[in-house]
Amino acid sequence: MVHVVAGSVPCCTIGADFAIGWAGDGRSRCEDAKRAGAGGVRRGELRHGSRMLRWAEAGSGTPAVVLDAALGEPGSLAWAGVLPAVAAHTRVIAYDRAGTGASDPVSPLTLDTQVDDLTALITQVTSGRCVLAGHSWGGLLAQLAAFRHPELIAGLVLIDPADENFRAALPPEDQREIAAMGPSILDQYSRGDLGNSTRATFRPFAHRLTSDPQLQALILDAYAWCYTKRSQAQMIQHENEQCLIPVDRPGRARGAKGVYLPG
């Protein structure tokens, strides 16, 4: 069953508005976001099997645009600078993959599970064919979803996308860095340092979204909240492990137009 809740989470009207919505969950700082101004962001959730998939959305119209983020990053935050611009023209959905952001974890995590989740979201939440946009790892998932279910896709937007050979093509030092990322995240979580390192990692992003220190703090709170559970930290490691598994090459979705945006 699909639930979309409108206006339940106060948001500001700048590009970071829906990111602040997640930050305000159950917190007094939610009132700070409310004073900053009410935005048009809605939260949605879909029961998929025994799990809940969740997202932030805004705007109206068709075709809807579905956004899938990079490895280990919650889509409902990663697309903060993009969602308001797209919402001015059509409905846009920024999706949290299983175990990231507000969506429930899945065990074991597999590439097929991630593509199935994305397909279920498109099928149940959008009206007709959608424009599917993916960044990095989300770009690979978008290609696979389009290849397997071309009838759901009106167009593809691939932003510096991963492909089936991207891990093997990296220099050895980059491969080692990616391999070490998951254990490092879990170690930081175990020591209680993950919140601070998360804020440090995403501070430049928050500064690009807004010059308001209060709103920057809310955005960083939202990111830190997304890694407060061990399952959320583990999902980064699990997604990294997926990079090592061979992937069948996606084909072009029939009838879909594609746009590739290099990094």
Burial of 28 (0-12, 13-18, 19+ CB in 10 A): exposed
Render pLDDT for 150-174 as a digit per residue (tens, 0 to 9): 999 999 999 988 876 766 777 888 7
Structural domains in the chain, CATH included, are 59-261 (3.40.50.1820)
Residue 102: pLDDT over 50: yes
Alpha helices, H only, 161-243? 166-169, 172-191, 194-209, 213-225, 230-242
pLDDT higher than 60, residue 39: no
pLDDT for the residue 244? 63
Tell how many helices (H) and how many strands (E) occur in the chain. 11, 8
| In the predicted structure, residue 9 carries a pLDDT above the cut 90 | no
Return the pLDDT at 201.
93
The pLDDT score that the predictor gives to residue 41 is: 83
- Compute the average pLDDT of residues 184-204: 93
Q: Omega of the bond prior to 250 within 30 degrees of 0, cis? A: no
Q: Looking at the DSSP assignment, which residues form a beta bridge with residue 2? A: 46
Lowest mean pLDDT among 90-104, 117-131, 138-152, 166-180: 166-180
Question: pLDDT class for 122, splitting at 50, 70, 90?
Answer: very high
- Whether residue 120 is predicted with pLDDT greater than 90 in this model: the reply is yes
For residue 255, give Cα distances in angstroms to 94, 139, 146, 150, 151. Answer: 24, 18, 10, 7, 8
Q: How much of the chain, in percent, has pLDDT values that exceed 70?
A: 76
What's the confidence (pLDDT) of residue 176?
Answer: 82
pLDDT band at 210 (very low <50, low <70, confident <90, very high): confident
- Look up residue 135 and give its amino acid: H
